[in-house]
């Protein structure tokens, strides 16, 4: 092995040790380009640093998206914003900018089933991730089940610490918790742990005055609402079910096609 080959092998080992995969993958091709285009040392290094930074950003985004477990297809682009009142559209777009995270503000999305609460929350969550924030999306029922299992295994504190890594928890369908006392206790513990420190987004088919159906005990209900709403943006979703409207439109189109087929035959 020549002295040049030894030096290159050492260089590659050091780039791996320094965790610079962009440098490792591109230093040779960029060196050839630098010679061809007559770059100086600063231009060459700048290009390498830009490549490393871009690839590192891409890897971070992929990791954040993997960890977020967002529902597929629920993006701001696929959201029919015009169907919502102008003030709500402005609020949704403002939430997507993520300023509320720095203030540990919560977001409550309240309304009838099918009005688009989960889609809006998922779209906001995805926008936050794309801006570099750590978000975790889950149904309340699935999260409570996980917390109960952790409590049984005497690792609830560890699980709460794991969830604390996320700047925002997006919790879907709080109204569907089974209302068992043990479930109520772990859910309240989670909300209390994050109070005034980290943000929570919550969708609910139940207005706040009906949250006693979730937490049962009046004092616990009041305390839970206080911790969620004290620093919160509340989005109230008016109107009929969007899913029902879509089903009616599909049925109307299908009926029209059937009538047209009958006439042509």
What's the rounded mean pLDDT across residues 81-91? 92
Same domain, 34 and 11: yes
User: Residue 214: what pLDDT?
Assistant: 82
Start-end of H helices in the chain: 3-17, 21-37, 41-68, 86-97, 99-102, 117-130, 140-152, 156-163, 181-194, 212-215, 218-229, 242-264
Whether 260 is in a domain gets the answer: no
What's the rounded mean pLDDT across residues 39-66? 93
Q: Which domain holds residue 19?
A: 3-67
CATH code for the domain of 92: 3.40.50.300
| Distance from C-alpha of 200 to C-alpha of 212, rounded to nearest angstrom | 19
Residue 261 pLDDT class (50, 70, 90 cuts): low
Where is the domain boundary, 47, 67, 87?
67
Q: Of 123-127, 219-223, 231-235, which has the strongest mean pLDDT? A: 123-127
The alpha carbon of 8 is separated from its chain's Cα centroid by a whole number of angstroms, namely 42
Same domain, 100 and 227: yes
**Total domains in the fold of the chain:** 2
Same domain, 117 and 202: yes
Phi, psi of 199 (to 5 degrees): -85, 150
Residue 240 pLDDT class (50, 70, 90 cuts): low
> What is the reported pTM?
0.80
């Amino acid at each position: 092995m020549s002295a040049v080959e030894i030096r290159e092998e050492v260089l590659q080992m050091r780039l791996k040790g320094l965790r610079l995969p962009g440098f490792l993958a591109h230093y040779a091709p960029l060196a050839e380009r630098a010679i061809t285009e007559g770059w100086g040392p600063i231009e060459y290094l700048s290009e390498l640093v830009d490549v490393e930074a871009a690839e590192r950003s891409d890897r971070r985004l992929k990791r954040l998206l993997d960890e977020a477990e967002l529902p597929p297809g629920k993006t701001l682009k696929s959201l029919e914003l015009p169907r919502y009142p102008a003030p709500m559209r402005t609020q949704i777009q403002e939430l997507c900018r993520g300023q509320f995270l720095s203030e540990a503000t919560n977001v409550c999305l309240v309304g009838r089933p099918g009005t688009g609460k989960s889609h809006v929350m998922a779209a906001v969550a995805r926008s936050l991730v794309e801006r570099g924030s750590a978000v975790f999306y889950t149904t309340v029922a699935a999260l409570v089940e996980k917390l109960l299992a952790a409590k049984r295994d005497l690792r609830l504190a560890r699980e709460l610490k794991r969830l604390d890594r996320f700047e925002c928890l997006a919790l879907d369908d709080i109204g569907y918790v089974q209302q068992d006392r043990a479930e109520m206790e772990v859910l309240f513990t989670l909300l209390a742990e994050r109070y005034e420190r980290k943000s929570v987004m919550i969708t609910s088919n139940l207005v706040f005055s009906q949250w006693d159906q979730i937490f049962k005990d009046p004092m616990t209900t009041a305390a839970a609402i206080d911790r969620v709403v004290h620093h919160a943006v509340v989005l109230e979703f008016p109107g009929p079910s969007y899913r029902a409207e879509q089903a009616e439109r599909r049925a109307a189109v299908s009926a029209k096609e059937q009538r047209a087929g009958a006439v042509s035959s």
